[in-house]
Structure 1
């Protein structure tokens, strides 16, 4: 039974911002440190900073021979089954650092030249340079280090999707970067028959973590070593009939070893290779899992945007159906714009609660229309106002949305409304708002949504959003 089923959300994975995990086992996806570092938002920076502060604290204790303190920090990284990520086929039982014994991990770190020499800098480096540490262990460690912000995210999502919260639930160890210690608290969390659950944003999970030992050793280190041996004309070099000189990777691994200890020894001689690997991963982070990938992993249906659109056009206009209208619009937009827009907030309060925004998304786009938008306009957030009117939208509605803009929050919004009698007049009002430097409002009516949905289907879930570019060009020209 998944979270959506247990709490009767009437939603599948495509319409949820978090991973819709099974409550009695795990889903085989992982929280990747590199995907967190690729986030550009304030929220993303907070997560990345927490990860770095914890690992820095562990290494600092080890270098200072404060080994008991280091072991205590590592012992809180055991998997406690409330995240439900990993390879477990039965009841959740992760392979966190703690559950594998903090002492054994501490021993590996202490013995490693990578830790002593400063070669080891980030948590994900351990996947490359420390024996016994792999994808599942790092993912579990990340979940635990980020427990506090993930609890806050869970609470926000429960509010958004109307999931009941149980007060005074034990949080589990939460990392305090200022004090450099783990702390516990009693917090509101969703409770099920299977225990408490902490949600993970689906934009952050991957099939595997980005840092992979085989990839680093075989495709970064060994090619450089091959070139060095050829240049030095060592005994490992042989000549082809064509006259080309070669050194096989197999011969290098036989001579130098093929495990992580060998990788450390060879990286210490060529530290720039590890820097190149880090840079490559930073500049080309892996993409979030697609709707299709989640559908395959979780055996659930793909988003039915055509079905939602049919519900939309069948819905009468007016105040009586305004809430239903907003729910349908949010489902459509969340599916259409994933993974570019995420972490939706409903009726987001600003100005000390005096103003509200129907839906606010964080813009985490790494490509496409919303990324292009972020390069040219202030749009850390995208604001959405839904108007289920049976009449044209007028200046007061425009002013309502533009009044939500600010340089820090963002100055781009989407006004979703039904069919209008005078679409050109609506655009002129949006253009006037932009010219007056009160922000950019992109109006979208029913037929525009249909166009976006068809584009999404035609491009098999990878739309270029050409239609949005067209609408935007009308707004700014």
Structure 2
């Protein structure tokens, strides 16, 4: 049974912001530190700083030889069963650092030349340079280090989807960057017959970590080693019949080895190669799992947007159905705009609760329309207002949405209504708002939603959204 089924959400993975975990086992996805670092939002920066502060504390203890405190820090990375990410095929059991042995992990870290030489900088470096540490262990460690933030995310998500929270639940160890210690609290969490659950944003998970030691060795270290041997004309150089010289990867691996110890030895000699690898991963972060990948992984059908569109078009206008209209629109947009827009907030309160925004998304786009938008206009968040009117949308509705903008929150919104009788007039109102430096508003109606869905399907879930780009250019030109 999945989380969504237990709480009767009537939604599959594509319509959810979080990983829809199975409650009695694990799903084979992992939290990737590099995916977290690629986030440009304040939320992403907070997550990255938590990870960095923990590992810096560990490295400081290695340098000072403080075994007792270090083992205590590592032992608290013993992953609980509440995240349900990983390789477990039966009951969730985790593979965190603490599950192995704080002693053995500490020994591996302290005795490693990678630590002594200063090569280790981040948690994911251990996947490249420390024997016995792999994808599942690092993912579980990340879950634990970010437990505080993920609990807050879980609470927000439960409020968003109307999922009941049980108070006074033991949080498990929470990392405190200020005191560099673990602490526990009583918190509110969703409870099932399988125990407490902490949810993870699906935009952060991957099939595997970005940092892979075999990839680093084969495609970064070995080419440099090959060139060195060619330059020195070593005994490993072979001359082919046509006169071309080469040094094979097999010959290098036979001579130097192909395990993490060999990688460390060569990286100590060429630390700039590791810097190049890190930079490459930062510049080209891996993509979040697609709808198709989640569908295959969870054995669920792809989202049925045509059914939602039919529900939208058959819905009566008016105040009585306004909440249903907002729900349908949110479901459609959550599918269409993933992974560009995520972490939704419904009825988001601003100005001390005096103003509300129907739906607010965080903009984490790494390509497509919303990424292009973020490069040219302030839009860390994108605001959605839904108007289930049977009348023409006019200045008050435009002014209402523009009043939600700010330099820090963002100045881009989408006004969605059932029909627009005079599109030229509404566009003129939006242009006036932009010219007055009160923000940028794209207005859409039911027919535009149909076009967005058709473009999305025809362009294989592309995030380019030609209709939005067309309307944007009309707005700013």
What is the aligned partner in structure 2 of residue 126 from structure 1? 126
Query: How far does the alpha carbon of each residue in 1:387-425 deviate from its partner, in whole angstroms, 9 at most, with x for none?
Result: 000001111111111000000000000000011211111
Q: CA deviation at 1:463?
A: 4.2
1:172-321 matched pairs, under 5 angstroms: 172-321=172-321
What is the aligned partner in structure 2 of residue 4 from structure 1? 4
What is the aligned partner in structure 2 of residue 343 from structure 1? 343
The question of whether the paired residues in 1 share the 8 Å contact of 2:340 and 2:463 is answered with no
CA–CA distance in 2 between the matches of 1:173 and 1:104?
A: 21
Give unpaired runs (5+ residues) of structure 2. Answer: none
What is the aligned partner in structure 2 of residue 56 from structure 1? 56
RMSD after superposition: 0.6
CA–CA distance in 2 between the matches of 1:232 and 1:147?
A: 51
CA–CA distance in 2 between the matches of 1:461 and 1:303?
A: 12
Query: How far does the alpha carbon of each residue in 1:200-223 deviate from its partner, in whole angstroms, 9 at most, with x for none?
Result: 000000000000010001111111
What is the aligned partner in structure 2 of residue 362 from structure 1? 362
CA–CA distance in 2 between the matches of 1:160 and 1:366?
A: 25
- Which secondary structure state, in structure 2, belongs to the residue aligned with residue 400 of structure 1? helix
CA–CA distance in 1 between the matches of 2:463 and 2:238?
A: 50
The question of whether the paired residues in 2 share the 8 Å contact of 1:30 and 1:205 is answered with yes
Q: CA deviation at 1:464?
A: 2.1
The question of whether the paired residues in 1 share the 8 Å contact of 2:337 and 2:463 is answered with no
CA–CA distance in 1 between the matches of 2:445 and 2:166?
A: 40
CA–CA distance in 2 between the matches of 1:422 and 1:224?
A: 64
Query: Paired residues, what number?
Result: 477
What is the aligned partner in structure 2 of residue 467 from structure 1? 467
- Which secondary structure state, in structure 1, belongs to the residue aligned with residue 9 of structure 2? coil
What is the aligned partner in structure 2 of residue 452 from structure 1? 452
Q: CA deviation at 1:344?
A: 0.2
- Which secondary structure state, in structure 2, belongs to the residue aligned with residue 324 of structure 1? helix
The question of whether the paired residues in 2 share the 8 Å contact of 1:455 and 1:463 is answered with no
CA–CA distance in 2 between the matches of 1:261 and 1:69?
A: 27
CA–CA distance in 2 between the matches of 1:388 and 1:227?
A: 66
Q: CA deviation at 1:301?
A: 1.4
1:316-465 matched pairs, under 5 angstroms: 316-465=316-465
CA–CA distance in 1 between the matches of 2:463 and 2:227?
A: 42
- Which secondary structure state, in structure 2, belongs to the residue aligned with residue 413 of structure 1? strand
Q: CA deviation at 1:330?
A: 0.2
CA–CA distance in 1 between the matches of 2:104 and 2:404?
A: 53
CA–CA distance in 1 between the matches of 2:19 and 2:28?
A: 11
The question of whether the paired residues in 2 share the 8 Å contact of 1:39 and 1:45 is answered with yes
- Which secondary structure state, in structure 1, belongs to the residue aligned with residue 348 of structure 2? strand
- Which secondary structure state, in structure 1, belongs to the residue aligned with residue 361 of structure 2? strand
Q: CA deviation at 1:462?
A: 2.1
The question of whether the paired residues in 2 share the 8 Å contact of 1:128 and 1:212 is answered with yes
CA–CA distance in 2 between the matches of 1:401 and 1:238?
A: 69
CA–CA distance in 1 between the matches of 2:466 and 2:354?
A: 36
The question of whether the paired residues in 1 share the 8 Å contact of 2:430 and 2:441 is answered with yes
CA–CA distance in 1 between the matches of 2:392 and 2:100?
A: 63
Divergent runs of 4+, >4 A: none
Higher mean C-alpha displacement, 248-257 vs 22-31: 248-257
The question of whether the paired residues in 1 share the 8 Å contact of 2:380 and 2:409 is answered with yes
CA–CA distance in 1 between the matches of 2:440 and 2:95?
A: 48
Q: CA deviation at 1:361?
A: 0.3
CA–CA distance in 2 between the matches of 1:430 and 1:74?
A: 55
1:476 aligns with 2:476: yes
- Which secondary structure state, in structure 1, belongs to the residue aligned with residue 399 of structure 2? helix
CA–CA distance in 2 between the matches of 1:166 and 1:309?
A: 35
What is the aligned partner in structure 2 of residue 41 from structure 1? 41
Query: How far does the alpha carbon of each residue in 1:216-258 deviate from its partner, in whole angstroms, 9 at most, with x for none?
Result: 0111111110110011011111100111111111111111111
**CA distance 1:363–1:196, shift in 2 (3 Å):** same
The question of whether the paired residues in 1 share the 8 Å contact of 2:256 and 2:262 is answered with yes
Higher mean C-alpha displacement, 329-338 vs 462-471: 462-471
Q: CA deviation at 1:302?
A: 1.1
Q: CA deviation at 1:273?
A: 0.5
What is the aligned partner in structure 2 of residue 13 from structure 1? 13
Query: How far does the alpha carbon of each residue in 1:339-377 deviate from its partner, in whole angstroms, 9 at most, with x for none?
Result: 000000000000000000000000001111101111111
- Which secondary structure state, in structure 2, belongs to the residue aligned with residue 126 of structure 1? helix
The question of whether the paired residues in 1 share the 8 Å contact of 2:367 and 2:463 is answered with no
Higher mean C-alpha displacement, 456-465 vs 210-219: 456-465
Q: CA deviation at 1:287?
A: 0.4
1:42-121 matched pairs, under 5 angstroms: 42-121=42-121
Q: TM-score, normalised by structure 2?
A: 0.99
CA–CA distance in 1 between the matches of 2:51 and 2:381?
A: 24
